Amino acid sequence: MSRCLTTVWKKWFGKTDNGSKLYAGLDPVRVPRHVAIIMDGNGRWAQKRGLPRPFGHRAGAEALRAIVRTAAELGVGVLTTYAFSTENWKRPAEEVDLLMKLFSDYLDNEIDELGANGIRLRFSGQTDALSPGLRAKIAQAEATTAANGGLVLNIAVNYGGRAEITRAVRLIAADVASGALAPGDIDEATISRHMYTAGLPDPDLLIRPAGDQRLSNFLLWQAAYAEFWFTDINWPDFRPEHLIAAVADFQRRDRRFGGLTR
């Protein structure tokens, strides 16, 4: 067992048989480079407990802390989290305001620890539609952590997969119109370079808690060959052992990318 896996095992499981079994099957060489998570089920988590929805969002923010630490210790290269979609603006204004405040508070409270652990923050989505104060915090967080060489925490905020593809098409069309790009030179790599995730590997593993089994407009281009892992557990109850179980399941799958296994 590698040192990083041993660290996680001791930290989260002590010496329990369950923890030992989970780690015994993990191959540190085959940890997914990029894990994407749709952080779903906050509201349902709160409602099941007779609590207002905001309690679920706060609990979800707490769950994220543990998952970021675990992903970094496992050696995951990129963790993309779906924090707020372009469709989430349809929710009640009070809930939207709370989500934006939680996002702002997360940046305030976590930036020092993220930086100390070598984590680089990156953001995907239409951030120009956010408040000036939040945009300033996002820019500061990216600049402060830009030189970090560890896990890339890519937060998708005001993000929509179709909107991202539409944006890429417009940027490519502008390059063609200016003469900087010939139409015949447009290929998949061209499109990927114009996505928010330019420079990042495509997700190997996409996790969705809370029972729904759909992409919900998340990473539509990038997830073409991602392995999906679904669970009925609501996001606030998602723990490091669930991430480890998802990685273990990922490692048991035969990824052929349209080809055949020899």
Of 230, 224, 187, 190, residue with least CA distance to 204:
224
Kindly report, residue by residue over 179-208, the tens digit of the pLDDT: 999 999 999 999 999 999 999 999 999 999
194 found inside a domain: no
38 found inside a domain: yes
**For the stretch 214-228, what's the b/e string if a residue is b when 16 or more beta carbons lie within 10 angstroms of its beta carbon?**
ebebbbebbbeebbb
* Residues annotated as part of the active site: 40, 88
Residue 259 has pLDDT above 90, yes or no: no
145 found inside a domain: yes
Q: What is the DSSP letter of 159?
A: E
Strand ranges for the chain from DSSP E: 34-38, 78-85, 120-124, 152-159, 205-208, 227-230
Sequence-distant (6+) residues with CB within 8 A of 218 are 36, 38, 82, 85, 156, 159, 161, 206
Kindly report, residue by residue over 33-58, the tens digit of the pLDDT: 999 999 999 999 999 999 999 899 99
112 found inside a domain: yes
Kindly report, residue by residue over 73-95, the tens digit of the pLDDT: 999 999 999 999 999 999 999 99
Q: How confident is the model at residue 256 (pLDDT cuts 50, 70, 90)?
A: confident
9 found inside a domain: no
**Total count of domains within the chain:** 1
5 found inside a domain: no
- State which residues form the domain around 42: 31-159+201-212+221-252
On whether the CB atoms of residues 101 and 178 are closer than 8 A, the answer is: no
Of 245, 178, 220, residue with least CA distance to 21:
245
120 found inside a domain: yes
The whole-angstrom separation of Cα 38 and Cα 81 is: 6
Radius of gyration of the chain (CA): 19
Residue 198 has phi, psi (to 5 degrees) of -50, 130
Residue 17 has pLDDT above 50, yes or no: no
Residue with tokens 């993990």: 26
Residue 22 has a pLDDT of 55
The whole-angstrom separation of Cα 25 and Cα 236 is: 26
Residue 257 has a pLDDT of 74
If one counts every other C-beta atom within 10 angstroms of the C-beta of residue 56, the result is 22
Looking up residue 234, the CATH number of its domain turns out to be 3.40.1180.10
12 found inside a domain: no
Q: Which pTM was predicted?
A: 0.89
